[in-house]
Structure 1
């Protein structure tokens, strides 16, 4: 059986067997066919370029649509936050450039008085430079509510007065207050505020009634002067006892008592106005050009607004002529003008209750009178005209008229004298009681003038 199997298997192989040379040839042909079939199956012909271009265009359209949507969303998003202080500290140029944009100037004239529980920095016994007539506490004024108010501007912040900050600015500098008794009132307020931090010393006094004085803060090598000049220009003051009832003011001449000292001053605060309301004859070019309250003289009666305007404008022009153009960056001289500070008489000056209010007016409760508004406008316009006229000088207005107008409670009233109702010399023999409704108690609203001054000088 096995033999038959082998025989059959051998027979079949013999029938299928080919010659060796022919077998190799067929095998090569078969391999070529298999290779060709493999190529067709696994390496198809490339597609045409048209679909590729269409796909690229479509991708660009999608990208454009996505970009447009993203941009639209970014436009709806809020702007990025301002750079952090740390960015500036690390020297980020973009952040530093953005922070360098200065804020708009603060309008301190628009605001209201709000309660403030903080006590004053000084009082009637702790400060020795308060003029006797403004030391309301020492003279027995019983109420103290006028101490506890602060001025709050509507659109910006007015920081509380910092003696340290002011003395840092005043280091190695000379500040002068020039003008009438309101200028002196503001100067004495500043002296008391600064003395709460550093002792002050009177180093010079020349003239009666403390009209020319100089104080030193030796710890800071700082000087504050008070210079009397109620018209800023040259004038011969009235002398009632000598029968001279009118002031004679020379608009074309300057008061060298202070003007000649301005070269040694780093900053000056000028404050005038109330003396122009007194009887006065105004001269210009050797002739009388205006006369106020002079019915007893052979001159035409005029108002005092034109004379006040000429005095202020000419003074600033002369300051610019003499002192402009000097100094470099950071060395400019500052000349600030305090605007008119209104009085609050509600009756005769020598009658009880001339200025009896015990709290500030509310916003809108008390408007500016015509005189106060005109005097303020004159100063603001003069400063605006002088600003930027020369290098080395910076002119500024301390616009206190509105805030002062709302403080009828801040005047000495009858307490311009000690114990006015108790036989201490205030009440006259005929029952009249003199009242001061022009100047300010110290401490009091006048301290706010110097809060604004500090922000102006910095």
Structure 2
């Protein structure tokens, strides 16, 4: 009897069983932990630069402001146990076609959105359709080819708050009430990226049910710090989305450390030109605690949504705290202002060691963001 290329019934059964087993393994495989890894040299240039993208806030356009070194552009984040693909602008736009993507929070939320807009511009350029408030605090862009909308909502506390002013040197936070600046639009928001934290370090008085709960760095009320307050604000924001929102993907970008070395207004406050090596710097103290609070609140929000039977609201943490810690070279520093040393090096100079140059390390946040949105849609 001649040999046959057709599988026997037993072989077909074994093949089907193997395919089923592999599918089950794949389905149950733990998701990639992008938080752990290291920065490695890269020869690939960023998707954009300071002249090809016009959505960058001038103070973060480091090359246009005269930063002389370029080495900080040529690093990529390599997770320890999985791969992080490069950003695919076309794939991202397909994911958010016919959707409204909103960044809600402080100036780091805006920093990340402006990075994202520059990265997607390689496939389709955004058009500014709305602007209100100074310093890019409220902006909206449209990408007509994909009917995609991108917005920034200035809300540094996420909850209702009154910012400090010349007349009052403290913030006021109402922890049980979401800020309606963004919450009023929840029915129209499909993807929300929250980013907050640094404003919670400032002097503030906290209210719960319009009664003073305590304060931070003040004299007339009980000192209660800011970790618990930050957690309550996140919980209020997440609960508000769960209770009011429709089918919404909610992603929290975790706290990113600043890198001031010495006084903020001295030359060299953040002058490093290469990343920290793995193990050279450890995430600890306030930076780690703020990260921990954020990650835990995301997990709690995920559980609450399931308990309420709301499977349309999905939560993820974009855990970038460690990868941000390792990039002291990625800040504007003195180049927050144009050509700060054109007239020589003075004794004092403003430094921004909190926000990120564009292009720069924050672009990697959006590489992970793309993968998280894929995960939420799977």
Deviation at 1:271, TM superposition (A): 0.5
Residues 20-419 of structure 1: pairs in structure 2 closer than 5 A: 93-94=16-17, 96-101=19-24, 102=27, 103-239=29-165, 242-295=166-219, 298-323=220-245, 332-388=247-303, 389=305, 390-419=310-339
User: How far apart are residue 333 of structure 1 and its match?
Assistant: 1.6
Are 2:253 and 2:318, in contact at CA under 8 Å, matched by a contact in 1?
A: yes
Equivalent pairs, count: 354
Residue number among 358, 361, 377 corresponding to 1:442 in the alignment:
358
Which residue of structure 1 lines up, in the alignment, with residue 4 of structure 2?
A: none
CA distance in structure 2 between the aligned counterparts of 1:177 and 1:308, rounded to whole angstroms: 18
Deviation at 1:93, TM superposition (A): 4.6
Point out where structure 1 has 5 or more consecutive residues left out of the alignment: 1-86, 327-331
Alignment partner of 1:354: what SS? coil
Q: Does 1:456 align with 2:372?
A: yes
Partners of 1:139 and 1:419 within 8 A in 2: yes
Instruction: Check whether the contact 1:290–1:304 (CA below 8 A) recurs between aligned residues.
Output: no
- Structure 1 consecutive aligned stretches of length 4 or more whose deviation exceeds 3 Å: 92-96
For the Cα contact (< 8 Å) 1:350–1:435, is it kept in 2? yes
Q: Distance in 2 between matches of 1:286 and 1:218?
A: 44
Query: TM-score scaled by structure 2?
Result: 0.90
Preserved contact between residue 290 and residue 307 of structure 1 (Cα < 8 Å): no
Q: How far is the alpha carbon of 1:94 from its aligned partner?
A: 3.8
Which SS does the other structure have where 1:432 is aligned? coil
Distance in 2 separating the partners of 1:370 and 1:188? 29
**Which has the larger Rg?**
1
Return the alpha-carbon distance in structure 1 between the equivalents of residues 143 and 268 of structure 2. Answer: 40
Q: 1:95 to 1:264 in 2, by over 3 A?
A: farther
Offset at residue 439 of structure 1 (A): 0.3
CA contact (8 A) 1:269 1:338 kept: yes
Higher helix share: 1
Aligned to 1:13: none
CA contact (8 A) 2:281 2:325 kept: yes
CA contact (8 A) 1:334 1:393 kept: yes
After TM superposition, give the deviation of residue 449 of structure 1 in Å: 0.4
Give the drift of 1:309: 1.1
**Which secondary structure state, in structure 1, belongs to the residue aligned with residue 135 of structure 2?**
helix
Contact between 2:235 and 2:297, CA under 8 Å: does it hold in 1? yes
Q: Which runs of 5+ in 2 are unaligned?
A: 1-10
Say whether the 8 Å CA contact 1:129–1:191 is kept in structure 2: yes
RMSD: 1.7
Contact 2:73/2:360, CA 8 A, preserved across alignment: yes
In 2, Cα distance between the equivalents of 1:220 and 1:317?
30
Deviation at 1:96, TM superposition (A): 4.6
- Cα distance between partner residues in 2 of 1:421 and 1:292: 38
